[in-house]
Amino acid sequence: MGDLLVRPHGRRRPFPPEAARRKQDALRAQARELEQTPPLRAIDDPRDAATVLMLMIPRGRDPTAEQIARIEDTMRVVLGVEHDPHERLTHARFIASRAQSFAQTAQLFADLFNKRLTAEERHELLGIVEEIARIDGPTAVQLADVDVLKRRLGLATAG
């Protein structure tokens, strides 16, 4: 009965097959996205969120040894992660592997960054992500991702 439309005068006709398929495809896509976002939504520390973004910006989302070393160094020196940075990096890598895209992740973390970081800290975060991207690029995709982050952080200039 769920596959029938009711016309105003009471007669029923079958759902057009293409409309039903589009609806099912949309529901599947939404379910996939919801399945992937809980680990991202569980992050409540901007340092961990920044680490996830640093792991996602490299070309192909597969950080090189140099990028991993730079990320670990940034975690210790810039983000102040002193207690077991390797464990936090491992956890961040797991979460990054569950994310659909850099843009989606930046969108999910935007509220956390905008509420918990000052404008200066958001500028610093943008610089950190750009620095990681410069190690192997930046490619057009990386530049677009950085631009998305810049807009989500409220740092995009008008023009």
Answer whether residue 128 is part of any domain.
yes
How many domains are contained in the chain? 1
pLDDT tens per residue across span 27-71: 776 666 656 567 788 899 999 999 999 999 997 778 989 999 999
Answer whether residue 145 is part of any domain.
yes
What is the mean pLDDT of the segment spanning 140-152?
95
Answer whether residue 29 is part of any domain.
no
Query: What is the structure's pLDDT at 1?
Result: 47
Answer whether residue 109 is part of any domain.
yes
Query: What is the structure's pLDDT at 105?
Result: 93
Q: Which residue has the higher pLDDT, 23 or 133?
A: 133
What's the predicted TM-score (pTM) here? 0.75
Answer whether residue 93 is part of any domain.
yes
Is the pLDDT at 119 greater than 90? The verdict is yes
Q: How far apart are CA 39 and CA 80, in angstroms?
A: 22
pLDDT tens per residue across span 57-110: 997 778 989 999 999 999 999 888 888 888 999 999 999 988 889 999 999 999
| Interacting residues of 70 by C-beta distance below 8 A, sequence separation 6+ | 131, 132, 135
Give me 27's structure tokens: 């529901």
Range of the domain at 120: 38-152
Answer whether residue 15 is part of any domain.
no
Please identify which residue in the block is written with the tokens 């949309």: 26
DSSP output for 56-121 = HSSGGG---HHHHHHHHHHHHHTS---S-HHHHHHHHHHHHHH-S-HHHHHHHHHHHHHHHS-HHH
Q: How far apart are CA 25 and CA 129, in angstroms?
A: 34
